[in-house]
Amino acid sequence: MRFKEISDKEIIDVHEGSRLGVLGQTDLQINPTTGKIEAFIIPNYKWFGLKKEAESEKIYWNMIEKIGEDIILINSKKD
């Protein structure tokens, strides 16, 4: 699967029941040795998306439960 194919999907945390954002608005953390995606970094915006706050949220690849047609379901409490 290419990043382009999942970039417009909304991320939902099934444990918290919250919307985290759209994947296309994220940065990637890539393992330099393997070239694999390790995490998505979701910036926190305020002022209607014009200014980034200092804190960002990381979604690690192993937290992903399901990638659907429109939504990516993650579990933030997955061990």
Flag whether pLDDT at 48 surpasses 60.
no
pLDDT digits (tens, 9 = 90+) for 67-76: 998 999 999 8
pLDDT digits (tens, 9 = 90+) for 11-33: 899 988 888 878 777 788 999 99
Helix (H) or strand (E) holding 22: strand 18-22
Strands across the sheet containing 71-74: 18-22, 10-13, 71-74, 64-67
Ordered alpha helix ranges (H), 1-79:
3-6
Q: Can you tell me whether residue 21 is helix, strand or coil?
A: strand
What is the value of pTM for the model shown? 0.71
Which residue range(s) make up the domain with 17? Answer: 3-74
Of 53 and 8, the structure prediction assigns the larger pLDDT to 8
Number of domains in the chain: 1
In a domain, 12, yes or no: yes
CB 31 within 8 A of CB 19: no
In a domain, 79, yes or no: no
In a domain, 25, yes or no: yes
CB 55 within 8 A of CB 45: no
Q: Residue 39's domain is classified under what CATH number?
A: 2.30.30.240
The proportion of the chain whose per-residue pLDDT surpasses 70, expressed as a percent, equals: 82
